[in-house]
Chains A and B, each alone.
Chain A
């Protein structure tokens, strides 16, 4: 037993206890609720009795992933102001969903995006095409969750390597999903929201009351501050005992101002490749315009992407009626908005008090600032630091476990239900399908674990941004155009969605592969083939930006193709398009949905 316990060396008992309880309770609750709700329809029907408050908490709980909990803080610390676009757009993207898509989709009664794709165009073929993107977006979304798991476990057990954490957490969740636990149970998700909010806010209040508040910490980041300030404010600055910044940290002004290290990286790399005397002129000409372009492309990816995330829309159907659905959305916006104020504070305080994280790479870098920052209190208050750090670890577990299992369920469902049940073996028995579900869960969980092992060097938040960019160029144009334009045809929708989505996918993959090839460790050797790409991008920073943040060209490409191809194939607009549009837009009290279903079944003849 002693050899097995060797990795426990250096483990803080408080942190371990809090994390363990979270994992145990989540798994236990999942299994307990799984007994009472076995099928998908059970889940939806049972959900209809859920109150607005619980449902809003559940949607928020599902939405807040490792990127929200750990990634934002890490990125604000490493890149400063520009990283703030992420929390703002994660929360505000929801507004777009509310304004244009949520209402019509709920009236149409399509539970998932593939359901909608099939129903809107009467095309089982299009359903199969649409299903692919559940998997594409899903895998890009699971990678950062896996990194969150690896970072957290490497923090709790300092002895184990990053990949071991990924494999362990991935295996536990995969097994749990395959055995039938951890479905998207409203109660579990709702409780997880409150765990996350508690875990992110309480340590901040304690830290801020000891070390100084949000504004004071930002105020300390000012290169030329001391000479131009009133004495009172200057004294305020001195109350923060800033640690000296390490070499790799960005300077104060660049960090606190817009168009900082995140958005100017490509141009800076290009300038570094030029002769010394040309650099200043080059930077003056290109740095800010390209940075602005980067910012807009990022905003577009996040705002449009939120409206196209496959695992979020499902929850809108668990409301008893349309008015409750709208009130729920209002509460979701408040709940996630309140949450998103806190993570940047960790990044800001971390920069002043824990700058040594800048020198760490991968699992030892800024992505773990949320977990480690509370331990500072240990120096003054003993065990309180460990307890608070244990609480943030518990929140991190809640974040990546809920999102990973939610994604795994929807991806497994797509693979088992659509690919196996409809394409490969349409005549399979229910037992065979259940086996297929379990097999698919293990397969997808396995792929997600392998992918997760490779991404230690990429920032959590950045990877989630890429998943949003793919959703923005595929599902968002599909939903938006099909809901508001009746001239859309299946061919137009498919062409636009596939082209836009695949362009975004390839761009994101190239960016990641070239970043990984820069690593000095073993990962760099694996991806060495992609290293020349970095040389190419040093000469073409604009292409690099368009590859790193592709939304600004992929979304227009998708929409343009949809319009052009639909115009060319006007003959294939569904015959009952007016009825479909009525169902999408007329108030539910008119009962058009029932009428539509009856008509449809009579017409289909079976």
Chain B
């Protein structure tokens, strides 16, 4: 990664802002993509593989089990990872400016 030279005005430079926004957006988009693939994939699975999704697991249909229960922990994991990485990202940004 090519960090711009640490002049007093690094913070206000165009490159700093571009880099900042790109890194943040990349992290957010990566997390959103994981989430959206799962969320938007569910109706597709229901549509194209109805027999599979109707398999009974402990009384539940597979699709009910995933959507009604398992989806919540899945989202917790995504948000936990996002928060950890975004805090690290911010610390890194502060360090790169203060150095």
- Give me the interface of A with B, judged by CB distance under 8 Å: 81, 84-85, 87-89, 91-92, 95-96, 98-100, 103, 213-220, 222, 236, 256-259, 288, 292, 295-296, 299, 303, 322-323, 326-327, 329-330, 333-334, 337-338, 340-341, 344, 484, 578-579, 581-582, 585-587, 589-590, 592
Contact = CB atoms under 8 A, between A and B. Distances in A.
Given A92-B75, A215-B58, A215-B65, 8 more contacts: A85-B67, A99-B82, A213-B59, A217-B59, A259-B46, A323-B87, A484-B21, A585-B17
B30 to A, nearest CB: 10
Contacts of A257: 50, 54, 61
A85 to B, nearest CB: 8
Q: Which of B32, B53, B90 has the most CB of A within 10 A?
A: B90
Given A299-B40, A341-B68, A341-B72, A218 B59 contact: yes
B79 to A, nearest CB: 5
B47 A299 contact: no
B93 A587 contact: yes
A203 B77 CA distance: 29
Contacts of A81: 61, 63-64, 67
A499 to B, nearest CB: 25
A87 B32 CA distance: 19
Contact of A326 (B14, B24, B83): B83
7 contacts: A87-B68, A98-B79, A99-B82, A327-B83, A333-B75, A582-B20, A587-B91
Contacts of B54: 257
Nearest to A103: B86
Contacts of B72: 88, 91, 337-338, 340-341
A28 to B, nearest CB: 34
A89 B39 CA distance: 9
A323 B86 CA distance: 9
B61 A84 contact: no
B interface: dominant SS:
helix
Interface in B2-29: 11-12, 14, 17, 20-21, 24-25, 28
B41 to A, nearest CB: 11
Contacts of B25: 484
B79 A329 contact: yes
Contacts of A214: 59-60
B81 to A, nearest CB: 10
Contacts of B1: none
A218 B64 contact: yes
B47 A292 contact: yes
Nearest to B53: A258
B69 A341 contact: yes
B93 to A, nearest CB: 5
A99 B28 contact: yes
B61 A95 contact: no
A586 B11 contact: yes
Contacts of A327: 83
A479 to B, nearest CB: 13
B43 A292 contact: yes
Contacts of B60: 214-215, 218-219
Given A258-B50, A292-B43, A100 B79 contact: no
A585 B20 contact: yes
Size bracket, chain B contacts? 35 or more
B17 A582 contact: yes
Which among A95, A98, A222, A296 has the highest number of chain B CB atoms within 10 Å? Answer: A95
Given A215-B59, A587-B94, A95 B68 contact: no
A338 B75 CA distance: 12
A225 to B, nearest CB: 8
Contact of A296 (B43, B59, B86, B91): B43
Contacts of A344: 68
Nearest to A336: B72
A219 B79 contact: no
A215 to B, nearest CB: 3
Contacts of A299: 39-40, 43
Contacts of A592: 11
A241 B60 CA distance: 18
Contacts of A296: 40, 43
B11 A330 contact: no
A330 B83 contact: yes
A218 B97 CA distance: 57
A338 B39 CA distance: 18
Given A333-B76, A341-B72, A344-B68, A590 B82 contact: no
A502 B83 CA distance: 35
A295 B14 contact: no
A329 B46 CA distance: 31
Given A258-B46, A586-B11, A84 B56 contact: no
Contacts of B31: 95, 99
B17 A581 contact: yes
B8 to A, nearest CB: 13
B35 to A, nearest CB: 6
Contacts of A582: 11-12, 17, 20
B55 to A, nearest CB: 12
A121 B43 CA distance: 39
Contact of B61 (A236, A256, A303, A330): A256
Contact of B82 (A98, A220, A323): A98
Contacts of B53: 258
Q: Point out which of B53, B69, B78, B79 has the most chain A C-beta atoms below 10 A from its C-beta.
A: B79
A95 B79 CA distance: 7
B52 to A, nearest CB: 12
Nearest to A341: B69
A236 B63 CA distance: 21
A92 B35 contact: yes
B79 A590 contact: no
A216 B83 contact: no
Contact of A590 (B11, B35, B73): B11
B79 A330 contact: yes
Contacts of B63: 81, 258
A329 B83 contact: yes
A291 to B, nearest CB: 9
A99 B78 CA distance: 10
A88 to B, nearest CB: 5
Contacts of A217: 59
Contact of A295 (B17, B43, B64): B43
Nearest to A225: B56
